[in-house]
Amino acid sequence: MSSTATTPLVEVTNLSVHFRNADATVHAVNGVDFTLNAGEVLGILGESGSGKSVTLKTLMRLLPEKKTTIGGGMRVAGHDVLSLDRAGLIAFRGRVASMIFQEPMLAFDPVFTIGQQIAETVIQHEGVSREVAMARALEMLERVQIPSAKRRLEAYPHEMSGGMRQRAMIALALACKPQLLLADEPTTALDATVQIQILLLLRQLQKEMGMAVIFVTHDVGAAVEVSDRIAVMYAGRFVETGDVRTVIRKPGHPYTQGLLAANVLPGTGIHAGKRGDRIEAIPGAPPNMVTLAPGCAFEPRCKWAEERCGTKVPEPLPSADGGAAHLVRCVRAVA
Amino acid sequence: MFTYILKRILYVIPIGLAVSLVCFSLVFLAPGDPLSAILPPDATTELIERLKADYGFDKPLPVQFGKWVLRAAQGDLGTSIATGRPVNSEIAKAISNTFMLAMFACGIGFSFGLVFGFVAGYVRNTWLDKVVTGIAVTGVSLPHYWLGMVMVIIFAVLLDWLPAMGAGAGGSDAWAWDWEHVRFLVLPAVTLSFIPMGIVTRTTRAVVAEILNQEFVQALRAKGMDSLGVFKHVVKNAAPTLLAVMGIQLGYLLGGSILVETVFSWPGTGFLLNTAIFQRDLPLLQGTILFLAMFFVVLNVLVDILQSIFDPRIRR
């Protein structure tokens, strides 16, 4: 249980996740390494199918065990996540690490009130009475700035707006003061004005409670808004890792460059180009995750692809101009 | 919540009226004259007219219907043509017999159905799921009168453990809650329980499997709920659908199974209806159908109200 100042809160080493079904094995995550310190926010940026949500769910061991092969190691706050037994997992989830979801309407049980759903979590983890748990639920709803929180305790999920539901989801996730919050595209299903409010709220709560956050998104703007560090994920690998500034200003990997060119201007939520400008899209389609290419997975779509790109997967190495903390998996970025 | 319940209860009035109209007119659609069954072939015209007047058959149909509904609303369903006794007392005995049988059959069928269904839903696509689903399909597909006869052959004839027919020793219809009487219930109740068992199993399996696939179940696990905690959520989400299905099944069984009650000579409503139809006993037929239909309506209201307690979204 000891997590001293020197050891990071989260240590993921060479994580791989494969899904087996009758006729194929899907290589969802293929060797992910990262560490995260207490109080730090890591944004994982990637398109659909890049393995970012799978990485999060693996951290909570939420994937169906029978169909999933997990390799590598994960330590969170001193827990070896992969070797936790059933009781250990129950104590871990929601208490050490907690999760918020893309669509809060689906993540809440429709037939229990918001208050009941927050309270049961507190009861499960802290064994307190219903009254104490409800008081905590109220406190959390106030903390996430839900107006007339007391009345909202009695509300069912369908009686709230999307933004309110996501606030309630955050309240639920934070009810037992976890050290790590996993956010799986928490703003994707919300409209733009609400997105910003939720991002600001998350950032504020993260600072107040001093927890670490892993924030998964495909929205560059959202990632920049909340993250200290950014990891860009492609075909189940982190192709580029670094602090926000470096990754956005000096993207080292061609995929990151393409993402930035195709996405909104960081921090403004507005596209960088003017109306009528052509948006620069990345050509081609994401790779097939059943049969992995021997070399760089981005090679088929990369405009700078060379012969050596297709032979072996590039190691994450410090980029030429980004410093030692800026790791890029591209042969061109290092040389 | 309260207004919802009140609304559901008030809906019973128009539905009840419509149901009684159907019950009343259905009987007149059938060919044959109820009085010809009890009148001698050489009856005089005056006698026919007098009897028609006595039973009110001389009035126009809408008037007959109006009178019938008014009296039915006060709890008087008329007089049986065949026995000359009040329809009420004829029905009461049969209803209580069928009710007992239906409750036993549902108790057996629902308990097995729910357990099987939850197990299959939780372990879907495993061998255990296939076994349970197989039992359920068999339960639904077996013709229950055939099953009844097989049960009689095995447990009454070959093994001689249980009585084959009736509701009491020596054909007596005095009921008591002791083994001497309850043993008469076992075979018909078990026979009748197969269909509700199969239907409840299949519905439960489907509903549970669907709920377990929903994202909120993953969210529940993600917040550290143990299996029992997750199970509570599954039950409350499944409850509205399961209640509806069980309500309908109970309703069917209360209607009495003509075939099974005939196989076991069980003096219930199915038996009574059968007799009433053959004797062209109009008041008895109408009264029995009306009573059963109203019971069905009331049962549905109860299910609606119960459902709304489990699922707040239904209240609106």
Q: Does B46 touch chain A (CB under 8 A)?
A: no
User: Does B282 score more than 50 pLDDT?
Assistant: yes
As beta bridge partners, residue A18 has A27, A69
Q: Would you call B225 and A109 a contact, using CB atoms and an 8 Å cutoff?
A: no
Q: Is residue B87 part of a domain?
A: no
Nearest to B224 by CA among A93, A97, A180, A62: A93
Query: With contacts defined as CB-CB under 8 Å, which chain A residues touch B311?
Result: 110-111
Indicate the average pLDDT of chain B.
84
Cα separation of the two ends of chain B = 9
Q: Write down the ipTM of this complex.
A: 0.86
Q: Quote the minimal CA–CA distance from A91 to chain B in Å.
A: 6
Strand A229-234 vs strand A25-36: parallel, antiparallel, or unpaired?
A: unpaired
In which band, very low, low, confident or very high, does the pLDDT at A268 lie, cut at 50, 70 and 90?
very low
Tokens standing for residue A319? 């980029």
The mean pLDDT value for A314-335 works out to: 80
The mean pLDDT value for A288-316 works out to: 86
The mean pLDDT value for B165-186 works out to: 69
Tokens standing for residue B171? 């054909």
Q: Would you call A121 and B218 a contact, using CB atoms and an 8 Å cutoff?
A: no
- Which residues have CB under 8 Å from A323's CB, separation 6+? A242, A246
User: Does B174 score more than 80 pLDDT?
Assistant: no
Strand A10-20 vs strand A68-76: parallel, antiparallel, or unpaired?
A: antiparallel
Q: Is residue B159 part of a domain?
A: yes
Which residue in B has a C-alpha nearest to residue A171's C-alpha? Answer: B223
Which of 224-283 (B) contact A at CB < 8 A? Answer: 224-226, 229, 233, 236-237
3-state helix, strand, coil in chain B (%, to 5): 80, 0, 20
The mean pLDDT value for B48-65 works out to: 78
Q: Report the run of H or E that residue A34 belongs to, with start and end.
A: strand A25-36
Strand A229-234 vs strand A237-243: parallel, antiparallel, or unpaired?
A: antiparallel
The secondary structure of A272-300 as a DSSP string is SSPTTPPP-PPPS-PPPSSS--SS-TTGG
CA dist A319 and A334 (Å) reads 5
Cross-chain CB nearest to A121 (options B216, B223, B233): B223
Q: What pLDDT does A2 receive?
A: 46
Tokens standing for residue A240? 């580029």
Q: Does A172 touch chain B (CB under 8 A)?
A: yes
CATH architecture, domain A10-96+208-272+282-334: 3-Layer(aba) Sandwich (3.40)
Alpha helices in B123-143 (DSSP H): 127-141
Percent of chain B with pLDDT over 90: 24
As beta bridge partners, residue A230 has A43, A242
**Inter-chain contacts counted by CB atoms under 8 A, chains A and B:** 72
Query: With contacts defined as CB-CB under 8 Å, which chain B residues touch A103?
Result: 215
Q: Does B123 touch chain A (CB under 8 A)?
A: no
Cross-chain CB nearest to B215 (options A89, A92, A101): A101
Q: What pLDDT does A250 receive?
A: 86
Q: What pLDDT does A239 receive?
A: 92
In which band, very low, low, confident or very high, does the pLDDT at A61 lie, cut at 50, 70 and 90?
very high
Q: Would you call A60 and B226 a contact, using CB atoms and an 8 Å cutoff?
A: no
Cross-chain CB nearest to A109 (options B221, B224, B237): B237
Q: Would you call A93 and B224 a contact, using CB atoms and an 8 Å cutoff?
A: yes
In which band, very low, low, confident or very high, does the pLDDT at A291 lie, cut at 50, 70 and 90?
confident
**Among B29-43, B46-60, B83-97, B234-248, which is the least confidently predicted range?**
B29-43
* Residue at A89: amino acid letter: L
Q: Is residue B128 part of a domain?
A: yes
User: Does B81 score more than 70 pLDDT?
Assistant: yes
Cross-chain CB nearest to B224 (options A95, A110, A111): A95
Which residue range is the domain that position B165 belongs to? 94-269
Q: What pLDDT does A1 receive?
A: 44
Query: What letters, b where the CB count within 10 A reaches 16 and e where it falls short, cover A244-274?
Result: bebbbebbbbbbbbbbbeebbebeebeeeee
Percent of chain B with pLDDT over 70: 92
Query: With contacts defined as CB-CB under 8 Å, which chain B residues touch A176?
Result: 224
Q: What pLDDT does A267 receive?
A: 46
Q: Would you call A110 and B313 a contact, using CB atoms and an 8 Å cutoff?
A: yes
User: Does A193 score more than 60 pLDDT?
Assistant: yes
Q: Does A214 touch chain B (CB under 8 A)?
A: no
Q: What pLDDT does B111 receive?
A: 95
Percent of chain A with pLDDT over 90: 53
Percent of chain A with pLDDT over 70: 92
In which band, very low, low, confident or very high, does the pLDDT at B310 lie, cut at 50, 70 and 90?
confident
Q: Quote the minimal CA–CA distance from A265 to chain B in Å.
A: 32
In which band, very low, low, confident or very high, does the pLDDT at A80 lie, cut at 50, 70 and 90?
very high
CA dist B91 and B284 (Å) reads 8
Q: Give the distance from CA B264 to its chain's centroid.
A: 17
The mean pLDDT value for B176-202 works out to: 84
Q: Quote the minimal CA–CA distance from A245 to chain B in Å.
A: 32
**Among A68-72, A98-102, A246-250, which is the least confidently predicted range?**
A246-250
Domain count, chain B: 1
Helix, coil or strand: residue A13: strand
**Among A199-203, B240-244, B269-273, which is the least confidently predicted range?**
B269-273
pLDDT digits (tens, 9 = 90+) for B158-172: 887 877 777 666 555
pLDDT digits (tens, 9 = 90+) for B13-22: 888 888 888 8
Strands of A97-100's sheet, edge to edge?
A97-100, A180-184, A212-217, A41-45, A229-234, A237-243, A323-328, A317-319
The mean pLDDT value for A21-27 works out to: 86
Tokens standing for residue B44? 């005089």
Nearest to A14 by CA among A90, A73, A56: A73
Q: Would you call A99 and B222 a contact, using CB atoms and an 8 Å cutoff?
A: yes
The mean pLDDT value for A266-290 works out to: 65
Q: Quote the minimal CA–CA distance from A42 to chain B in Å.
A: 20
Q: Is residue B158 part of a domain?
A: yes
The mean pLDDT value for A136-149 works out to: 92
> What are the boundaries of each domain within chain A?
10-96+208-272+282-334
CA dist A170 and A186 (Å) reads 9
The mean pLDDT value for B247-262 works out to: 82
B196: DSSP letter: H
Q: Does B306 touch chain A (CB under 8 A)?
A: no
Q: Quote the minimal CA–CA distance from A26 to chain B in Å.
A: 20
User: Does A221 score more than 80 pLDDT?
Assistant: yes
Q: What pLDDT does B307 receive?
A: 87
Indicate the average pLDDT of chain A.
87
Contact A47, A38 (CB under 8 A): no
Cross-chain CB nearest to B236 (options A107, A111, A124): A111
The domain that holds B240 is classified in CATH as 1.10.3720.10
- Which residues have CB under 8 Å from A258's CB, separation 6+? A280, A281, A282, A301
Q: What pLDDT does B143 receive?
A: 85
